[in-house]
Amino acid sequence: MQKKSLGSADLQWIVLLAFLFSPFLANAQGSYIPYNRDYYHTLDRYDILRGRNNPVYRSATKPYRRDDVGAFLDSLVDDPVIKSRVDEFNLAYLSQDNWEFVSHETPESKKPFLKALYRRPGDFAHYYSDDFDIHVSPVIYLNGGIEPDNEQNPNRLSRGVVLRGSVDKKVGFFTYFTTSEAFFPSWVKGYAENNGAVPGQGFWKEYNGNGYSYFSAMGHISYNITKHIEVEVGHDRNFIGEGYRSFLLSDFSNPYMFVKFNTRIWKFQLTNIWTQMTADVDYDRGRPTDGRYTQKWFSFHRLGFNIGKSINLGFFESVMTDKADFNYFNPIVFTGGWSNP
């Protein structure tokens, strides 16, 4: 019996159906906080200092949901791990960034602009109600340096916008996009020339001879299907594991299309991720060849559970293939489909 492979058009229909029907079943939901190494290190640091498993958001996959992080921040207000001025600053900063999901006081800006902008330190502009809330901030990044042996001193300019919010407190959404021009240090430039890839970016072009220009776009929609099952559909990256770098999935790769389910019941959490990854055009020593955009598919399942107050044990499996197959959409860990070569 011949098995039918799942093409990109099939995945698009699955994603579309998920968007259309799942929100009708959704419960209260917040968007996910985009992964940032320093931001998440601060969260994990306080979680570790407490010395016990966090039943609110703790898992081996990132990013975390804002409403889950808000509940965690509320639990830190009177916790002895917040004991220095730095800790108090960190707690205030994280709380302001998730102010609509924390119950403790987060003061408004002392000097809002034109009475409508910068009313909250964490948002350039926002609107909040029970039916709809939206938060918008500009993204501006400029850096520069000096490298004596490099014919062009490294520098980068990025500008864009970040937007997040929710509808009826059931559907969370997030989008981030920037455009950048960059001249890299010699070791980064050498990597890009040898591999035909700009770290963290997918589609790029040359800029002023030895620079790079690229556009970054990430976003997702998230919602709860039931009280214990949440789903996220987006174009972004995922971080797996507890270390400095992501396990299995790179955290500096090109963003990719994915569907992720998190099922949390008692002390157990089951995470399922299915992705469609699209590479840049085929390259030969940094130059395009035939213009094909190659694709691969990735399926990941992890079952984790807490043992006592400080141990989390997890079992996972993953499959990567150049063709999508319905067998790999099996959400039950350790029973992924097998197909003949």
In tens digits, what is the pLDDT along the chain, a chain of 341 residues? 333 444 444 444 444 444 444 444 444 567 889 888 889 889 888 888 887 666 555 567 888 889 889 989 999 999 999 999 999 999 999 999 999 999 998 888 888 888 889 999 889 999 998 889 999 999 999 999 998 888 889 999 999 999 999 988 889 999 999 999 999 998 888 888 887 788 888 778 888 888 999 988 999 999 888 888 889 999 998 888 777 778 777 777 788 899 999 888 888 888 899 988 876 665 555 555 455 667 788 888 888 887 877 777 888 888 888 777 777 777 776 655 444 44
Q: How far apart are CA 133 and CA 142, in angstroms?
A: 30
Instruction: Give the list of residues 6+ apart from residue 163 with CB closer than 8 angstroms, or none.
Output: 134, 135, 136, 173, 174, 175, 176
Question: Is residue 65 included in any domain, yes or no?
Answer: yes
- Examine residue 284 and state whether it is found in any structural domain, yes or no: yes
Domain-located, residue 202: yes
- Kindly give, in sequence order, each residue whose CB lies less than 8 Å from that of residue 34, ignoring residues fewer than 6 positions away: 63, 174, 176, 218, 236
Residues ≥6 apart with Cβ < 8 Å to 335: none
Name which of 53, 50, 57, 11 is nearest 32 in CA terms: 57
Domain coverage including residue 113: 5-329
Q: What distance in Å separates the CA atoms of residue 233 and residue 72, rounded to the nearest whole number?
A: 24
Classify residue 153: in a domain, yes or no.
yes
Residue 340 falls within a domain, yes or no? no
In a domain, 336, yes or no: no
> For residues 51 and 271, what is the distance between their CA atoms, to the nearest angstrom?
24
How many domains does the chain contain in total?
Answer: 1
Give the closest residue to 259 by CA, choosing from 4, 10, 5, 39: 10
Q: Give the number of residues written for the chain.
A: 341
Beta-carbon contacts of 265 under 8 Å, excluding residues fewer than 6 positions away, are 228
Query: Does residue 298 lie within any of the structural domains?
Result: yes
Structure tokens at 259: 């569907």
335 lies in a domain? no
